[in-house]
Amino acid sequence: MRMTIYAYPWDLARVGVERALKQICADGISAIDLTASYHPIDALSPREGVSIFTNARGAVYFPPRDERYGRIKPHVHSPEISAIWPETARHAHALGLDLNAWTITLFQPWIRDAHPDCARVFPSGNPSGSGVCPANDDVREFLVTMCEDMVDQFGIKLVRLENIMPVFDFDWLRPRTLITVPPFARTLMNLCFCNACITKAVAKGLDPVRLREIVNTAINSDISEGCSNDHRTAALADDAELRAYAELAMRSSTELVTAIAAAIKGKARVSINAAASYAMLIGTAREDELLGEFLSAADQAELIPGHPDNAHVAALAGGLAPPREISAMIPVVRATGLTGPALQARLAAPEARVQAAVDAGATELSLYNFGLLRESDISEFAASIRRDFG
């Protein structure tokens, strides 16, 4: 079983890059997944004395070549931390350790702050406070350029594109949703009505003004009644224009992955995660076709920790020609106090998650996360995987 490990550059800086990478090699781990761009974070590290790293709006963590970029210029965290990237690349190549780029794609509040027109827009007309839209041409140009830039600089083997197919409430900051959002309302709320999405819809002959109106009526009815209604769901699922609008949303993500893969073709592989979002609107069979197209745009599919769609996504990825490899992030979490009881329960048994990933066809396990765990936590867990799965 191939193992990789996620790592933050600021933790490598404190531990010492060479020492950290030698330990990772000694644990039988084949690659390091180093943060290239990241979302807001408050992270407690037990390494080299307790340390807390905070960043409120996300940033880029490698030294970019600014002249390559268009309207969106990389917001670099700091020269000190971004200098860890070339240092890591140098030591990793010397040690025979593969270097992967852990790339947060759309959950980038710093882009949304600098360029509010890039934000995803909920059907209600409210812009997201943290997420940008994969249909936006400037967002696409930025992500393609960023991936190409770092691959060209550092000899990266694999670019992990995290959550490039968004859902409406993914990683909200300090969320407050005290009511249940019924499943069909949730499906509809995943639709984006930013200018880029509207423009693409109009170009296809769709009427986004009408669509937004019927979507909002259905969302409000679902939420006020506290449940989805079969008749209402069927009526909207019968609307060919609305189905086409949902398909455009999925295709936006596919187009972005395709563009990134083309830019780094022959140099680095691409890995993506996926989950079903629009089956209630477009039907499971059609959504599977579109998810298949999405997964086809990449070289590898990643399972999302604890997600109910994992086995389904793995089957879709494994059924492609050629079959896409399956990788699984494994949070090595045993302790209490992660971010709440629900998440603790979901992440409570790393061994069980490893078995579920293996059962789904995973050939790679990505341990999470180097600097957030004690050295012994990683060494013991990696040893157990080597012992149980070879």
What is the spatial distance between Cα 174 and Cα 192, in angstroms, rounded to a whole number?
21
The answer to the question of residue 192 lying near Zn ion (CB under 5 A) is: yes
Q: Which is nearer to Zn ion, 29 or 135 (CB)?
A: 135
- The tokens 């360029």 sit on which residue? 115
133 is a site residue for Zn ion (CB under 5 A): yes
Q: Considering the complex, what minimum distance in angstroms separates the CB of residue 253 from Zn ion?
A: 11
* Structure tokens given for 248: 């455009």
Stretch that binds Zn ion, among 39-47, 138-146, 186-194, 199-207 (CB under 5 A): 186-194
Binding marks (x or -) toward Zn ion, 92..121, rule CB under 5 A?
Answer: ------------------------------
The Cα–Cα gap between 301 and 315 comes to: 10
Nearer to Zn ion, 257 or 378 (CB): 257
How far apart are alpha carbons 280 and 52 in whole angstroms? 42
* 63 or 131: CB nearest Zn ion: 131
Closest distance to Zn ion from the beta carbon of 200 (Å):
8
DSSP 8-state class, residue 76: B
Q: Position of tokens 């609305």? A: 242
Decide if 168 contacts 107 (C-beta within 8 A). no
Tell which one of 194, 260, 356, 365 touches Zn ion (CB under 5 A).
194
Residues in the interface with Zn ion (CB under 5 A) total 5
Amino acid of residue 36: A
The interface region with Zn ion, picked from 58-66, 134-142, 268-276, 297-305 by CB under 5 A, is 134-142
Which position has the token pair 């013991």?
Answer: 380
DSSP letters for 17-67? HHHHHHHHHHTT--EEEEEEEE--EEEEE-TTS-EEEEESS-EE-S---GG
Contacts of residue 83, defined as CB under 8 A and 6 or more positions apart, other chains included, come to 63
Asked if 215 touches Zn ion (CB under 5 A), the answer is: no
* Residues in a beta bridge with 326: 301
| 143, 151, 197, 206: residue in contact with Zn ion (rule CB under 5 A) | 197
| 268 belongs to the binding site for Zn ion (CB under 5 A) | no
Position 314 contacts Zn ion (CB under 5 A): no
Q: How far is the CB of 168 from Zn ion (least distance, A)?
A: 11
Closer Cβ to Zn ion, 7 or 201, answer by number = 201
- Which spans of this chain sit near Zn ion (rule: CB under 5 A)? 133, 135, 192, 194, 197
